[in-house]
Amino acid sequence: MTAPQPLTIGGRRFLWGSRTYVMGVLNITPDSFSGDGLGDDVEAAVAQGRRFAEEGADLLDVGGESTRPDFASISAEEETGRVLPVIERLLAEAALPISIDTSKAGVAQAALEAGAHMVNDVWGFRHDPQIAEIVARFAVPAVIMHNQRGRQFRDVVGDIRDGLEASIDLATAAGIPRERLIIDPGFGFGWTVEQNLEMLRRLEELRALGLPILVGTSRKSTIGAVLDLPIEERLMGTAATVAIAVASGADIVRVHDVKQMVQVCRMADALVRGRPALSR
């Protein structure tokens, strides 16, 4: 299957199909499901971003509101206040493309005005369609995720495809070129353990959409359920899901443990893509 067109994000060229890219997660929240929430500690967040860059991350994803199940929503003003100081510092100190992880149009606009390079919307423009207009105005790429929460279940891949196609339609109607989109099937967002596992097994079917695929399995509850392990002990389970995702066609993996998952991706790429293990 033909690889999606290359995409430039924050001045860096992403050549899909050449290797797997690693997105490091920076949760500027006090209530992250993964136990890595940095609260309002800007210095800690910036230090973590610099460390991720040194460990081989290709992008940084900055979020100011938890998306865990039953999360407590915060105002756009509070979310903006959390992420902007971190984004501004990272732009000067980390030298990596920065994604703003938000579902609020106001937060997305403020982050892009501050210099962020991409928007990552866990509702795929279906919660706040104005985000699509903002992405189009700033001419940046966007990750659109299918979120199954509150939706009727029929078929794992069928539901994901329908949701992503609806998001793609919203994006193109707003003026975003299709080639600026990255799709995320939404592992852990409204699915049962069995459905999440099926999603990974059938991930390759989503390549038919012709867009780069981002997968975020890191430390999630499905891993805990399968292995009967708490969040802090899910590193190896995460590694297994990342390796399977790479083998099934993932172009980006969104992770909390950058150093270890960079190694997993390099090894998986060497096996799947025939890429030398030490090559970058």
Q: What is the pLDDT of residue 3?
A: 87
Is residue 4 in some structural domain?
no
Q: Is the Cβ–Cβ distance between 241 and 201 less than 8 Å?
A: no
Is residue 6 in some structural domain?
no
Is residue 5 in some structural domain?
no
Separation between Cα atoms, residue 123 and residue 268, nearest integer Å: 29
Residue 194: count other Cβ atoms within 10 Å of its Cβ: 11
Rg (CA), the chain: 17
> What is the tally of structural domains in the chain?
1
Separation between Cα atoms, residue 276 and residue 187, nearest integer Å: 29
Is residue 277 in some structural domain?
no
Is residue 10 in some structural domain?
no
Is residue 223 in some structural domain?
yes
**Locus of tokens 């979120």:** 147
Q: Is the Cβ–Cβ distance between 224 and 230 less than 8 Å?
A: yes
Q: What is the pLDDT of residue 74?
A: 86
Q: What is the pLDDT of residue 278?
A: 53
Per-residue pLDDT 10s for the chain (280 aa) are 688 999 999 999 999 999 999 999 999 987 544 445 566 788 999 999 999 999 999 999 999 997 766 656 789 999 999 999 999 999 999 999 999 999 999 999 999 999 999 999 999 999 998 999 999 999 999 999 999 999 999 999 999 999 999 999 999 999 999 999 999 999 999 999 999 999 999 999 999 999 999 999 999 999 999 999 999 999 999 999 999 999 999 999 999 999 999 999 999 999 999 865 554 4
Residue 49: which residues within 8 A CB-CB, separation 6 or more? Answer: 24, 26, 60, 86, 90, 93, 94, 96
Please give the backbone phi and psi of residue 49, each rounded to the nearest 5 degrees, phi first: -60, -45
Is residue 279 in some structural domain?
no
Please give the backbone phi and psi of residue 270, each rounded to the nearest 5 degrees, phi first: -60, -35
Q: Is the Cβ–Cβ distance between 121 and 145 less than 8 Å?
A: yes
- Which residue numbers are catalytic? 220, 254
Q: What is the pLDDT of residue 280?
A: 47
Q: What is the pLDDT of residue 275?
A: 65
CATH of the domain at 160: 3.20.20.20
* Type of residue found at 12: R
For 103, the domain range is: 21-272
Is residue 79 in some structural domain?
yes
